Structure 1
Amino acid sequence: MNNQNTTRVQVSQVKRVITTLFNSYGISEKDSEVITNSFIEADLCGVNTHGVTVVPAHIEKLKVGGYNINPNIRKVREGISFAVVDGDGSFGALSAEYSMKLAKEEAKQKGTFSVFSYNNNTFGPAFYYSAMAAKEGLIGIVMCNTPPAMAPWNGNEKLLGTNPFSISIPVKKGFPITLDMATSQVAKSKINIALRDGKKIPIGWATDINGDPTTDPQKAVEGMVLPLGGYKGYGISMMVDILSGVLSGASFLNDVGSFYRNMENCMNVGFMFVVIDPKLIIGEVFYDLIKDYYNIIKSSSSVIKGDEILIPGDRKSNFKKQFSDTGIEINKETINKLNQYLLENNINMKLA
């Protein structure tokens, strides 16, 4: 059910409006569709922090020249089992899709292939790209670094990003088993949404600039998000930063550019994509084994009688089934901003 701050809109209408807007700012129709699909898939799967709500910010970055709208995304180095890709300052969704497609094609020939990419901007929902592999019966592993938001364990200086990663495992005739997570206690975008909506955040999400716990999203934005699982999340964040940032030749630690504070510049985010073709490693039996694996966990007993045992990706699958029919919920403030962009560009179209 919609709350008073949101409106439910059919996916086809949302897609038409956003692709038209991106196209009006000089992005090709094909690239506009690629970019738009990533936002819509996030909302369809219930990850609204990475969905249509962030489109206005991307348009603002476009308006100040923060994206290369005619990029030459290309391989600059290649080995037997890896490639390095220059994202050329494009939309992150474009360089990410290019990199994942390359990794998939090569993995089908070699069993496994890794692509490292630099000179990128944020790519949005990590699961979107790992699931691209799983839809073709492949295992997808995706990670990227992000602007600094966390301190090292026991530290009080923002050096590490929330550095998300995602792994998708194909399941016969079903939604992939998909792990999708930030290495922080919560994605920073959730704090930004709480700030936008005038809501407090739970204790344990972030600290203020002095390192003290806070429920104030403004103080949290100025301060630091906390790592998932304490020192363990801190360690995982470092590994993601090294593998996607240092190894790709992108920025790392606090050199990763801010999306909001330096909109006119490329963030130089680093990506890492690994694709594995299980058919070449263990054979077609893999898919039967995973189906059995899935069923064993789903049919296991729960602590609370009657409660469903969830597998990573189940919530996304359930949301997608629901929202594909009913439409996605969009914040009214976002709708107003998108309609204003349509008006500014003399586009005879309106959202919702």
Structure 2
Amino acid sequence: MTPQEQDLTTITPTRLWVPKHVLITRAASELPHTAEIVRRCEAAGVEDIRILSGNALTGLRGATERETYASAKNTLAVVVAPPSALKPQPIPPSADWRIDLAKGCPAHCQYCYLAGSLQGPPVTRVYANLDDVLDGVRTHAGRGTVTSGTIERGGEGTTFEMSCYTDPLGIENVTGSLAAAISRVGSGEFGEDVQLRFTTKFDDVGELVTLDHGGRTRVRFSVNAAEVANRFEGGTARMPARLTALRAVAAAGYRVGLTIAPIMPIPGWREQYGALLDDVAAALDGIDALDLTAEIITHRFTPASKEVLLGWYPRTKLEMDEDLRSQKRSKFGGVKYVYPKQTMSEMRTWFVEELERRVPAARLLYWT
């Protein structure tokens, strides 16, 4: 047995999320994909599975913000994606289009990208009308400006990002949505020149490596320095487990990627991120026909996300001091707080050089 074949027979996830409560709206209960979700939830041992009398999610708030957060993070809601969520949206610089299998995430990252962008308690909502969601791949194939028809990334085809509002692998054991999407796109149902992509902090890839993906899905793992991951990324697979999963999917022929994010200039950051890159190189050593990309994203926050995060994690040690940051304004007038120009320049220069030196197979897509 070769080392790569061994990778595919010894995959044991270290982190599986199992909700305590599953709420199914009346409309969602009538759709076929809901039966698969219920089957998976029952197999995972979920006892509280309820079909609601209507389509509104109510009674989600506790007596305090912390109670609301804790209850919501233990709840999976099976809902119907509204028409507004079915139209693919441009998502540069990651991909041509965004499609959403779900909204919400079971992890407890103290810098959560979703804070401030999702309304209400942070319940994970999975969409039962999967056919409608995936129809966006059909209608938008061959369109887009990030990869479709471009010189730099045209070989990726039309790309569809699935992890803007969720970690699809983190909820896969109780939804099956990701496997269904990968299999259908992999079969060529939506055309030959399309590609799904998602980022994850989980390692439950045992089912994924058995799928006929057709090379039309890029699995990216969110990776970070040990200090950042261990301190701020609660409820996720630890870094060594993610790298083991990265090797497994690469060995199974998937296109793979690194989402190095959010990078932070912590004390000794060069040494810590250098060790991370060395670990990545070791994890992928010997993989044949490796197709590896990298996306590097610095930490940033908005006033709204800071307020939400401090409500969720009042004792966080995450640095969110506006006086230590520079303001970055969007074309719509929104404000993000990013690192000062000199810090950004130093980190960018180091990462570009060290990525090329330590992980030469990686193709850097963007830095932001």
Which TM-score applies when normalising by structure 2?
A: 0.29
Specify which structure has the higher proportion of helix: 1
Question: Relative contact order (C-alpha < 8 Å, sep 6+): which is higher?
Answer: 1
